[in-house]
Amino acid sequence: MQDLRSTMQSSDWIPSSSLVELHPDPTKRNKAIARRNIPVGSTVLSTPAFATALLDSEKGHRCDHCLREQPSLKKCSGCGNYWYCDAKCQNLHWQTNHKRLCKRIGQFENSVTFQQLEKHERMDSLLLSHLLAQLSTLNEPYSPRESRELEVALELLPGPASNVSAPPVCPIKPAPPSQRLVEDLFARFGNNNFTIHSHLNSIAHGVFPVASRLFNHSCVPNAVAKYVFSAGNTVTMEVVSLRDIAVGEEICIPYIDPALMQTRHQVFQITYGFVCDCPACAFLSKIGTSVPEPPEDATELAHLGAKLRDFVGVDEYLKGAPVVAADSQPRSLDDLPPALYCVLHESYMSTLSEAFSRASHEGDYAQAAESGVTLLALYLLVYPKNYPQIGMHLLEMAKTQWNHSFVALNPAGEDKDIAKNIVFQLLDLAKSVLRVLGTEGDSETGPFREIEVLEDIARNA
């Protein structure tokens, strides 16, 4: 095999339509810089997956080629382990990699060697098998696209755990060019691969070398990755700007949930091998290593929630007032009073989410409304403006409000109009946030469809 590493002279693999260019960086090696001013909601980069593997929980519910969720799928009669929308997706997947795996994948997945692997190792094993099968279906020299993707994949920084050997892979005939290539590709898995999601639910793992080569992490990101599914195609990643980005600014995406205030440092160190110096991490190191735990007492918790709502200005936000500055957090963490440091403890967000979800479902609506607004305040504090979680939560608040007003209270006259207005206001806010990311994942379902349905019901109520 030709040594592709030595051929990487330029960044001509960056799609010409993309809005970024690669610059050197003293600690991160390279960084992606905006080529020009980029307005909020722009697609900064669009790049197809090099290889994907569905999570075990999604197998049989989604097409193994295009990853779309389908009510009925066609099972591969050869192995019985892969499912497709139709003959087109099946043929394309066959050509891409399945023809090299079909005969052996069933036996491999049932083998003791595979079954004894940890869950994450099984995912790595399948994704690596797909990637290798894909490479071995190509005749060297590789086609320009495959060759470019492989070049970029091998140019990625290996992760800190790159001395760990590759997991066993499904036997492929012809075998991969060399074990060295297998190990080289696997050494880049941990700190470069992506979890593919639809409406915030993880569904698959994917290799997107161009995106990995470009984007560094920030816990206060100015862009996020979304996944676009379409019939007959492999999934495409689009990186979308969450706010206006000035020419020359670095474009960063979140590798992990920015709300993970305590655990993220360990993940950066173990999985990615860096220390994050974003403004949120700088604040956390300023206040010390341990964030205080929130109180357990219900009255104290209620007071804490009220203080947080007040600090963030969530009531004004809900009225549509522009409390969120154009290009920053609603309130900087640097202004957070010490009495509120405990809201940054990860357990506080889980307590609020559980309280909101339980009360919404069980019908304690006053409790649901209070925990819902407090959770919104926390999201506005820890996530950047237009972060999709904020929009999804506003939609959940609208649904809860609807159930409260119309299903439980059944208001009439003026009360009915007031109740409707609250629902519409929450839906408008949800739309204004979610519109920035736009449609993603399964396009027939998802938040925009749910908003339309609730708007229709509310209009006709």
Ligand X SMILES: C[S@@+](CC[C@H](N)C(=O)[O-])C[C@H]1O[C@@H](n2cnc3c(N)ncnc32)[C@H](O)[C@@H]1O
Stretch that binds ligand X, among 28-36, 58-66, 81-89, 389-397 (CB under 6 A): 28-36
Stretch that binds ligand X, among 209-217, 232-240, 385-393, 411-419 (CB under 6 A): 209-217
The answer to whether residue 130 forms part of the interface with ligand X (CB under 6 A) is no
Residues 212-271 that bind ligand X (CB under 6 A): 212-213, 216-217
Q: Residue 152 or 204: which CB sits closer to ligand X? A: 152
Stretch that binds ligand X, among 71-79, 153-161, 221-229, 239-247 (CB under 6 A): 153-161
Q: What are phi and psi of 109, to 5 degrees?
A: -70, -25
How far from 390 is each of 90, 427, 430, CA to CA, in Å?
37, 12, 8
Contact (CB, 8 A) for 17 and 202: no
Q: Which of 6, 9, 10, 27 contacts ligand X by CB under 6 A?
A: 27
Distance between CA 51 and CA 44 in Å, rounded?
21
- 3-state SS, residue 194: strand
The answer to whether residue 405 forms part of the interface with ligand X (CB under 6 A) is no
Distance between CA 255 and CA 304 in Å, rounded?
30
Q: Residue 156 or 382: which CB sits closer to ligand X? A: 156
CB of 459 to ligand X, least distance (A): 46
The answer to whether residue 156 forms part of the interface with ligand X (CB under 6 A) is yes
Stretch that binds ligand X, among 24-32, 115-123, 312-320, 418-426 (CB under 6 A): 24-32
Task: Report the b/e string of 165-181 with b at 16+ CB within 10 A.
Answer: ebbbbbebeeebeeeeb
**CB within 8 A of 237, min separation 6: which ones?**
45, 46, 47, 48, 49, 194, 196, 206, 208, 211, 225, 226, 227, 228
- 3-state SS, residue 82: coil
Q: Taking CB under 6 A as the rule, which mask of x and - marks residues 181-200 in contact with ligand X?
A: ----------xx--------
The answer to whether residue 404 forms part of the interface with ligand X (CB under 6 A) is no
CB of 387 to ligand X, least distance (A): 18
DSSP 7: G
The answer to whether residue 276 forms part of the interface with ligand X (CB under 6 A) is yes
The answer to whether residue 314 forms part of the interface with ligand X (CB under 6 A) is no
Contact (CB, 8 A) for 219 and 281: yes
Contact (CB, 8 A) for 247 and 36: yes
The answer to whether residue 28 forms part of the interface with ligand X (CB under 6 A) is yes
Binding site for ligand X (CB under 6 A): 27-30, 156-157, 159, 191-192, 212-213, 216-217, 272-274, 276
